Amino acid sequence: MQMKKTDLDDESDSSIKQLILETTLKMDKRTLTIWASDCAEHVLHYFEDKYPNDDRPRKAIEAARAWVERKISVGEARAAAFESHVAAREVEDDTACVVARAAGHAAATAHVAGHAVHAANYVAKVNPKERIWQYKNLLSILS
- Has residue 61 been placed in a domain? yes
Residue 127 belongs to domain spanning: 20-142
Q: What is the mean pLDDT of the chain?
A: 92
- Has residue 14 been placed in a domain? no
- Has residue 115 been placed in a domain? yes
Q: Quick one: which of 5, 32, 30 has its CA closest to 21?
A: 32
Q: Is the pLDDT of residue 2 over 90?
A: no
Q: Is the pLDDT of residue 23 over 60?
A: yes
How much is the pTM? 0.88
**Structural domain tally of the chain?**
1
> What's the average model confidence in pLDDT over 87-102?
98
- Has residue 27 been placed in a domain? yes
Residue 13's pLDDT is 72
- Has residue 113 been placed in a domain? yes
- Has residue 9 been placed in a domain? no
Q: Is the pLDDT of residue 12 over 90?
A: no
Q: Which residues contact 5 (CB under 8 A, 6 or more apart)?
A: 136, 139
- pLDDT tens across 34-91, in order? 999 999 999 999 999 999 999 999 999 999 999 999 999 999 999 999 999 999 999 9
pLDDT band, residue 11 (cuts 50/70/90): low
- Has residue 5 been placed in a domain? no
